[in-house]
Structure 1
Amino acid sequence: MQKKFGLSRRGFLMSAGAAIAAPTMAFSGGGSGRPAPRVASASFNPDVDLELVCRRDQVPILPGRPTQVWRYAGNLLKGPANTLASSPDSYLGPLMRFVKGQKVRIRLRNDLPEQTITHWHGLHVPMDADGHPTAAIEPGETYVYEFELRNRAGFNFYHPHTHEATATQVYHGLAGGLIVEDEEERALGLPSGEYEIPLVLQDRSFDDANQLAYWGGMHRDMFGFYGDRVLVNGRPDFKLDVASRAYRFRILNGSNARIYKLQWDDGTPLTVIGVDGGFWRSLNGAPM
């Protein structure tokens, strides 16, 4: 049916689709049509500047032979000393800690044997800083993210967002936690320092040589992969000596498909104060 503007519905949809499919991005040479990796902007003055490298490594997870993993390694170039906290005995990426309002630059370098790109799960960032699969970089390339932290305080998740490889890249170790702080949170006087404990939960399976096993089959294809062993912060035997006082646990489900129901073994109730999007709020709008 023709519209009064002289354009059919089919023609309008085709035109709109063409407009959407033509982002204003630079393209690499050689006629590949692939977007060139984003580079640092001279007009962006970051409060935090860091390198994040995706690379192969090996770590001791189970007794005996080390496990081959893929992991994030961080290097702080500018910013507060507590921005990155590494776990040398874990395959997990460094814990990142930012403050609302900070301007952040992250230089992601790919030292893996395949494409990858990183997504900041839960962060409000511009499209070119979101880690879309179309922005994936080749081995040896670097992609520069630049954004201002606009999120409320919360515990977020960074991980690959590579087309048809997100599940396997996360499974082999590319994952990490990202904390955002703000003034609202600081005013609450919540447990901090040694009494604030991030916990990353993941299920994994291992073969007889202590290597990560990602078995296939119809069940995995339909419902996702379920491992036969639960790791906490990358460890199968995670233990924590605690004092008789209140603690704050920041809990992240970094599994591929598994959902957890958490409780204390003696039935003591857990108090949930927030989710990755921020604190729970009372009816009058104040944090609970």
Structure 2
Amino acid sequence: MANQIEGVHESAGRPQHWLALEGKVCVVSGAAGGIGSAIAQVLGGVGTRLALLDRDEEKCHVLAQSFGANGVEALAVACDIGDMDSVRGAVERVEATYGAADVLVNNAGLLRPGGIEEIGLEAWNAMLRVNLTGYMLCSQQFGRGMLKKGAGAIVHVASVAAHHPQTYSGAYSPGKAGVAMLSKQLAAEWGPRGIRSNTVCPGMIRTPLSAAFYEHGDIERRRSAMTASRRIGEPTDIADVVAFLASARAAYVNGAEIVVDGGLESMLMDLVPRPGFEATQASREALTQGLAP
């Protein structure tokens, strides 16, 4: 019973993790970032063989070494996912070391400020090159090995910005919306050939890149109040969902989008003034104390 509680079950006398990902070759792009490293940590923790892709080669190697020190197989691969030659080189390294990928997590991303009125074509294309074209290139090139095997899972990390425009962020929202549709197209085209493709849409997640936001006044309190769960998400919140979608436990989940935002999208109507429909005094007191109304 204890093993079951910990997410482990017994099979043929050998303990196995509930996700049944042991020995699977898992490729994670943007692995040196906050969400990427958390995804790698969760996948590595259930016995996968990791291929860590990132443009920051030094950080990638440090991460791989830390995994190796803890008995996790991890290969660091310097890769610019927006460059076809770089992606092809990454595929060659991974396949030469481990064989064809079983799982691809498209996670690398780029965010730059800029309103539509003034953004230049170069800045627009630079963001799409990573956030959308890079996802296509990795899916296409790593997917070839999956298609040959007739099995595989691809998980794309998009954003709630795929559903709601993130203003003054250039091509960020259009790119994330494109990722969501790319995933559905892959599911439709490759599903009959044994490949699943799904999307995770994070809300507000505390990462090294966003940490500075929470140093300003009461930003964390105000942002937390915008979620039904009344907290800011952590990278592991995303990583756990990615691991599920990568696993055989999600065998009949294909072409789906899972929003992981603590209920942010469910709070839209709370922004609309509705006289006579405000929270009661008891509800306000409960919320203040951090209790459910």
Give the TM-score normalised by structure 1. Answer: 0.27
Going by fraction, where is strand more abundant, 1 or 2?
A: 1
Going by fraction, where is helix more abundant, 1 or 2?
A: 2
Give the TM-score normalised by structure 2. Answer: 0.26
